[in-house]
Amino acid sequence: MTPALEPLRRIAAYAVATDDEGRVLLVRASAKSGTPGIWSLPGGAVDHGEDPNHTVVRETAAETGLSVAVTGLRDVLADMRSLPHRGVTIHTDRLIYTVSVRGGTLVDRVGHNTDLARWHTLEEAEGLKLRPFAAAALGLSDAAPDLRPDVPPTFPSFYAYEGPDGLHRAQRFAAYAIATDPYENLLLTRISPGYPGAGCWHLPGGGTDYGEQPGTALIRELVEETGQEGRLIELLGVASHRDAASLGPEGYPIDWHGVRAFYRVVVDKPTEVVIHDVGGSTSEARWMPLREVAALAGEELTEVTADALRAAGLI
């Protein structure tokens, strides 16, 4: 049992780097952290408005002394962990990137949250106390399970706070689907009036719930938003967009930062599209032939939709 703790959410990005000998780069948490002595992948929290690709490069350099370049997206994971000594439970959406090392020298960081950076073979890493997400990313056994709440705490799907400039800020992680059927159609939704991107075609999906894995959230959202049951096929990519003064139904400008994972989904038995959230952000949803999707003008699509369709080779 864990006591009632304040729920927090964050987005973070991490690096999987290997050397010529096949060893993986790991960092050790110091006594200043919430998990002293535990090893993990280098990385950390995505700052407001920051592209996660930049986060993983910046954080790896800070924690290890090495300069890296992102070569690919490896996985997207989510987890909860409770830190009773800090009075919080944290849900973290973790973006795992493959990187290559461009140069630099490993450094020890006395007085920081991580104090050592070392290369380890996978066999050596198996014998270390690893953070669960790092073990999962490397295909190793979970040697240091996190303390978790008995049930996910209540946390709003939309949460804005006042930034240092006085403008409200919101950072949100979401999952969206490139959902196709056996008849070469793509499932699209249209954004309702009064919401950012009103009138544009968008992908089905939305924000993940506290404690929820993005793939699970996406399949749930697909049913709730359009009535379609789909199969998750693969992770296609992650898009990061910032609108410094987004105006929506709240009625006041919000410095909005959205980080969205998009997946390929197959709907084997498409049905009539039904919008269950009447009066919400979706005004229309329909199956659109792929040839019509390819002919849509850029201004008819939201940014994340255009990014995802390009990644899938559909436009």
193-218 pLDDT tens trace: 999 899 999 999 999 999 999 999 99
Start-to-end Cα distance in the chain: 51
- From 61, 190, 174, 67, select the one nearest 114 (Cα to Cα): 61
**Structural domains present in the chain:** 6-138 (3.90.79.10), 169-311 (3.90.79.10)
Between strands 185-191 and 201-202, the pairing is antiparallel
Average pLDDT, the chain: 92
Q: How confident is the model at residue 171 (pLDDT cuts 50, 70, 90)?
A: very high
Q: How many CA atoms lie within 13 A of 204 on its CB side?
A: 36
Distance (Å, rounded) from C-alpha 39 to C-alpha 100?
Answer: 20
From 21-30, 38-47, 273-282, the region with the lowest mean pLDDT? 273-282
CA angle 95, 101, 102 (to 5 degrees): 125
* pLDDT value of position 1: 44
Distance (Å, rounded) from C-alpha 310 to C-alpha 174?
Answer: 18
Residue position matching structure tokens 């992770």: 235
Token pair of 96 as six digits: 């795992």
* pLDDT value of position 144: 66
Give the residue-averaged pLDDT of 48-71.
Answer: 97
87-107 pLDDT tens trace: 999 999 999 999 999 999 999
* pLDDT value of position 158: 82
Give strand ranges (E) for 247-291: 254-266, 282-289
Give the total residue count for the chain.
Answer: 315
* pLDDT value of position 63: 96
DSSP three-state, residue 97: strand
Q: How confident is the model at residue 35 (pLDDT cuts 50, 70, 90)?
A: confident
131-152 pLDDT tens trace: 999 999 999 986 667 888 888 8
DSSP three-state, residue 299: helix
Longest dimension (CA), the chain: 60
* pLDDT value of position 212: 95
* pLDDT value of position 112: 87
* pLDDT value of position 142: 66
Quickly count: other Cβ atoms within 10 Å of residue 146's Cβ. Answer: 17
Specify whether the CB–CB gap between 200 and 183 falls below 8 A: no
pTM score of the predicted model: 0.93
* pLDDT value of position 129: 92
Between strands 201-202 and 88-104, the pairing is unpaired
* pLDDT value of position 201: 96
DSSP 8-state code for residue 300: G
* pLDDT value of position 52: 98
pLDDT above 70 covers a percentage of the chain that reads: 98
* pLDDT value of position 3: 55
- From 133, 135, 73, select the one nearest 262 (Cα to Cα): 73
